[in-house]
Structure 1
Amino acid sequence: MLGVSACTSLETTQAPEEVPEIRPGILMGYLPTDAPLDSKVFVPAAPAADSPRQAMDNAIVAKMLPLRDTPRWELATRDARLAFPAAADAFSCALGLPITEEDTPDLYMLLRRTLADLGLATYAAKNAYQRERPFMINGEPICTPEEEKMLRGDGSYPSGHTAIGWGWGLILSELAPGRTEALVARGRAFGESRNVCNVHWRSDIVAGRMAGAAAVARLHTNEQFLAAMAAAREDISRARESGLTPQVDCEAEARALATPL
């Protein structure tokens, strides 16, 4: 899980002893790592260089380049960081609650562990296609220049970040059905941030959603995951009863997300 592991940083909290790490800062998921989803079976082949799909990808990337250094670019930069505790903030506004180890520990752990399951779901196709990323073609900057070397060696198709964001949106909307629209919209935007960052094509993002949805479906066959969902649901109920609110600037996030893409 090269791309996912390399996006963590020293801000990552220490993993609980009972859940081992599969990479520094990345906790083991619920699904067995020796039998990951074979995403190359269910995602379409990566677009050919002269195909209409690639032409559409090129046009969308060109539209995103002027967003550099705007609030939407800044949000995309934050969305690129998969290290906890910061990664949990991405869905806090959409959920209407803080997602922290202190306030919602079971929910926080659920997100930490499913990160691996969702991200790994893309790697069969990533490794098969080894598609070049937009910045490798257009030479334009990316949101996280410190990750450029890693990204050059990690296939673009499908987008692992998108699989994670889309999967989290689906999981959270199941836990908080009254917030479904906001949570799924945030999951969509999380993936679109990869377009804004110039590190993924739109077709990477569409395929990433497929991988994320497939991983969520597979997770629902896992008893440990289902038990974790029940515990996270109780976390959410307690947090709402306590009147807790997000610890991030939700108005600023909403303004950034209102940027037309």
Structure 2
Amino acid sequence: MLRINLAILSLALPAAVAAQPAMMIEPARPAVAMTGYLADRSPLTLVRLLPPPPLPGSSEDSADRYLYRLSKRGIGGPDWRKAQGQLGIGSPDYQKAVACALGAAVAAPATANTMKLLQRAGADLARAVTAAKEYHKRARPFTTDRGKACDPASAVDGGKALGFAYPSGHAAVGWLWGLILADARPERSAALLKFGKETGDLRIACRVHWASDVAGGRLMATALYQQIADTADYKADLAKASAELSLAPVPEGCPAG
């Protein structure tokens, strides 16, 4: 099962994603902010690559609203319950999903390089997603019709703790992790990209995001990945992560296939 020090990693991820149930291990020392791979670049370079959310009344907006209405049928269903178990990257269900997709049990300190790889990329992502959310200030879907969502935070103070909707931080994190870990273990690419996509899909099932929020999160993650993948630091960290993951044991309790 994936075990990452959330006290450190939470400093490098969008607040609405990181401010969720804590990871299962306690920090051995005070958390230190992680420097990203693109720390010398403004996050606005990524924000500018992201198209704006659909305009009210547009065909894209109509599609968002249609899919949101359709998601009502899934309340209480399998995807709804799965989304409830993965409200934060620190939840045991989410950790298990990562580990099963990766085909490797990750635990500190044996996989410190893998954790560093995700943390540094997460630092870059946090800056970009936060800037984009603050710029677009898009309301969550459940605020438009008081619709039910799987996240209890949606029912408290108008869901303010979840922040703005566009782009989806969960979708961005899941897709970025899928891309990066697929670099580290190419033989697990299909499973890891499936995991990354599902992270965003479950936010639609949870009814806390419009479909275009999720698409925007994946787009931002892809743009960020393309930039960090060319850096020397990323390539060096990736090589170390790949080496340690090749020695990690296979996680237990994963679904067949």
TM-score (norm 1): 0.80
Partner of 2:250: 245
Q: 2:22 aligns with which of 9, 18, 21?
A: 9
Aligned-partner Cα distance in 2 for 1:178–1:71: 29
In the alignment, structure 1 segments of 5+ residues that lack a partner are: 22-26, 255-261
Counterpart residue number, 1:193? 202
Q: Is the 8 A contact 2:102 2:185 kept in 1?
A: yes
Output the CA distance in 2 between the equivalents of 1:33 and 1:8: 31
Worse-superposed segment, 208-217 or 59-68: 59-68
1:158 is aligned to 2:170? no
**Equivalent position amino acid for 1:152 in 2:** K
**C-alpha contact (below 8 Å) 1:129/1:157 kept by paired residues:** yes
1:68 is displaced (CA, Å) by: 2.2
* Separation in structure 1 between the aligned mates of residue 101 and residue 23 of structure 2, nearest angstrom: 26
8 Å CA contact 1:119–1:161 kept in 2: the answer is no
2:220 pairs, out of 211, 221, 234, with 211
Q: Please say if 1:234 is aligned against 2:243.
A: yes
Tell me, yes or no, if structure 1 residue 20 matches structure 2 residue 32.
Answer: yes
1:210-257: per-residue Cα shift (whole Å, max 9, x none)? 110112122224433332211110112112xxxx22244435xx8xxx
Q: Quick one: structure 1 residues 110 and 79, their matched pair in 2 at CA, closer, same or farther if it must change by over 3 Å?
A: farther
Relative to structure 1, is the Cα distance of residues 224 and 181 closer, same or farther in structure 2, using a 3 angstrom cutoff?
same
Per-residue Cα deviation, 1:50-97 (whole angstroms, up to 9, x for no partner) = 111011111111222222222322221233212377654332111222
CA contact (8 A) 1:85 1:100 kept: no
Q: 5 Å matches for 1:102-117?
A: 104-117=111-124
Could you give the per-residue CA deviations for residues 11-63 of structure 1, whole angstroms, max 9, x where no partner exists?
A: 5631756x613xxxxx5544328732434311212111211101111111122
What amino acid is the match of 1:187? G
Conservation of the 8 A alpha-carbon contact between 1:100 and 1:108: no
Q: Structure 2 CA distance, aligned partners of 1:181 and 1:131?
A: 32
Look up the match of 2:11.
none
Q: Distance in 1 between matches of 2:190 and 2:202?
A: 18
| C-alpha separation in 2, matches of 1:28 and 1:41 | 22
1:111-141 Cα distance to aligned partner (Å, 9 max, x none): 3443332233222321111011111113122
In structure 2, distance between residues paired with 1:13 and 1:35: 32
Over the matched positions of the two proteins, sequence identity in percent amounts to 30
> Larger deviation: 90-99 or 156-165?
90-99
Shift of 1:208: 0.7
Q: CA RMSD in A?
A: 2.8
Distance 1:15 1:56 in 2: 47
Q: Which runs of 5+ in 2 are unaligned?
A: 1-13
Aligned to 2:191: 182
TM-score normalised by length of structure 2: 0.81
1:94-116 Cα deviation digits (max 9, x unpaired): 12222332553322343344333
Q: Residue in 2 aligned with 1:64?
A: 71
| Partner of residue 32, structure 1 | 39
CA distance in 1, matches of 2:92, 2:26: 7
Do the aligned partners of 1:79 and 1:87 also contact (CA within 8 Å) in 2?
A: yes
Residue type of the partner of 2:160? R
2:145 aligns with 138
Whole-angstrom CA distance in 1 between matches of 2:177 and 2:28: 20
Q: Secondary structure at the match of 2:178?
A: helix
